[in-house]
Amino acid sequence: MQQINAVLFDFDGTLMDTNDVILMSWQHTFRTLANREEKEDVLTATFGEPLETTMDRFFPHIPLEESIEIYRQFQRDNFNGLITLFPGMKELIIALKERGYKIGLVTSRLKQTSMEGLEKYGLTKYFDAIVTPEDTTKHKPDPEPVHIALRKLGARPDQAVMLGDTLFDIMCAKNAGVRSVLVAWSLALAGKTKADLGKDAPDYIIHKPEELFAILGEAE
């Protein structure tokens, strides 16, 4: 096995607990445009999908710019106060940095709120590469976002591992030739095992952030 020297993180649902703000943004959008709320499992099934794709499917008769603005305005107004960092993630990132790993963020979230979240918890300085939708022409599960991050980091696919919480993250990593890690605190894939996911299963599943070090071949 090629030694890993780069670790890529997804933002929503992996590094940062944004579940509440995402669900609330969707329900606000449904109340505004359809005068109703949507079932939570329908919404969580979309986690990781580009917003434009989901919005076009939910509200095909509403101009895309209008529906997206309703969603994003709610997030802009509420994002900072509703997000939290998953326990142990800051400690993991600091430890990785201290051990010389290159650290990247690969997210479908726009740069503004991604940076807002990182800055809230003092994480910006630990990331050597940040890839948001503004940097790509294709999005997860296409490998382009990971390929861009690897180029920025100066790492090869066989030297990297990616942590994520959705099938979009897992498939993006797989399509890029990067080893994939599903975080068990995922809301989108809560309780799923490798057997449950079949051909889409990640290479690894971790239940606590520090379990990543066993994957990296280090004693923790």
pLDDT band at 2 (very low <50, low <70, confident <90, very high): low
pLDDT over threshold 70, residue 219: no
Q: Structural domain of residue 31, as residue ranges? A: 19-82
Active-site residue, 20 included = no
Same domain, 107 and 160: yes
**CATH number, residue 193:** 3.40.50.1000
Same domain, 138 and 120: yes
pLDDT band at 218 (very low <50, low <70, confident <90, very high): low
Q: pLDDT by residue (tens digit) across 153-184?
A: 999 999 999 999 999 999 999 999 999 999 99
pLDDT over threshold 90, residue 21: yes
- Do the domain assignments include residue 98? yes
Same domain, 99 and 201: yes
Q: What is the largest CA-CA distance in the chain?
A: 54
Same domain, 32 and 98: no
pLDDT band at 91 (very low <50, low <70, confident <90, very high): very high
Helices (H), the chain: 19-34, 40-44, 51-58, 64-82, 89-98, 111-120, 144-153, 167-176, 194-197, 212-215
Same domain, 102 and 202: yes
Percentage above 70 pLDDT, the chain: 98
With vertex at residue 161, the alpha carbon angle to CA 41 and CA 48, rounded to the nearest 5 degrees, is 25
**What was the pLDDT predicted at 50?**
86
Whole-model pTM: value is 0.93
- Do the domain assignments include residue 191? yes
- Do the domain assignments include residue 1? no
- Do the domain assignments include residue 220? no
* Domain limit, last residue, from 82, 109, 132: 82
Q: pLDDT by residue (tens digit) across 29-79?
A: 999 999 999 999 999 999 988 899 999 999 999 999 999 999 999 999 999
**What was the pLDDT predicted at 220?**
39
Percentage above 90 pLDDT, the chain: 95
Same domain, 13 and 29: no
Catalytic residue among 10, 12, 17, 169: 10
Tell me the C-alpha to C-alpha distance, in Å, between residue 177 and each of 63, 76, 183.
37, 35, 19
Same domain, 51 and 96: no
pLDDT band at 6 (very low <50, low <70, confident <90, very high): very high
Q: pLDDT by residue (tens digit) across 101-155?
A: 999 999 999 999 999 999 999 999 999 999 999 999 999 999 999 999 999 999 9
Same domain, 70 and 137: no
**What was the pLDDT predicted at 24?**
97
Same domain, 93 and 201: yes
- Do the domain assignments include residue 147? yes
Give the DSSP letter of residue 60: T
Tell me the C-alpha to C-alpha distance, in Å, between residue 42 and each of 46, 74, 204, 219.
7, 20, 26, 40
Which amino acid appears at position 195 of this protein? A
Over residues 199-215, mean pLDDT:
96
**What was the pLDDT predicted at 1?**
52
**CATH number, residue 41:** 1.10.150
Number of structural domains found in the chain: 2
| Cβ neighbour number for residue 81 with a 10 Å cutoff | 8
Please tell me whether residue 181 adopts helix, strand or coil conformation.
Answer: strand
- Do the domain assignments include residue 62? yes
- 80: nearest Cα among 118, 51, 50, 109: 118
Same domain, 74 and 98: no
Same domain, 33 and 134: no
Name every residue whose Cβ is closer than 8 Å to that of residue 195 and which is 6 or more positions away in sequence. Answer: 201
